[in-house]
Amino acid sequence: MNYCVWFTGLSGSGKSTLSLALQQDLSASGVNACVLDGDVLRTGLNRDLGFSPEDRAENVRRVGEVAKLMTGAGVNVLVALISPYRADRDRVRSLFAPGYFIEVFVDAPLLTCIQRDVKGLYAKAQRGEVPAMTAMTSPYEAPLNPDLHLHTELEPLTQCLARIKALLP
């Protein structure tokens, strides 16, 4: 049975970096894995969605359904998506058999994320150009009991990857 690793956290916390590094590592070991990145999905599948709570919920729902379809087709799926609301992440978890949805909280302090700001989103939000920026003008509900809690400002990438791989079925 294939699994879904769901990376959740603020913009700039390291979700995409971790998911892409894990995919490369798994692929090098002969494991079929695909990354579903929220930024990429918002340019195609979810381009019709905004950032209201309802649109964010629909974004997570769609990504969860795609992840479920892909795991059913024999692909391990690595999702890098802010997914700010617990209830939405819990709904996606319910699509998977126990143990095959792994929620990874990619945690970095807001200040660290602002300093990283590779996409320039926080700077735009500070100028009022991004009206619903998660953790600034829109809430982020951190997981209460994630399968794994990573502190990317303290843990090097290799250590984070080893911790994730130790949880894979």
Helix 157-165 / helix 15-28 crossing angle, nearest 10 deg:
60
Q: Which of 11, 16, 19, 83 is catalytic?
A: 83
Instruction: Extract the tokens encoding 2.
Output: 């294939």
In the residue annotation, 11 being an active-site residue is answered as: no
- Residue 56 CB partners (closer than 8 Å, separation 6+): 49, 83, 84, 85, 88
- Is the CB of residue 55 less than 8 Å from the CB of residue 134? no
Question: Parallel, antiparallel, or unpaired for β 4-8 and 76-80?
Answer: parallel
Which residue intervals of 8-165 are DSSP H helices?
15-28, 38-41, 53-72, 86-93, 110-116, 121-126, 157-165
> In angstroms, rounded to a whole number, what is the distance separating the alpha carbons of residues 46 and 33?
21
- Is the CB of residue 150 less than 8 Å from the CB of residue 107? yes
Active site residues: 83
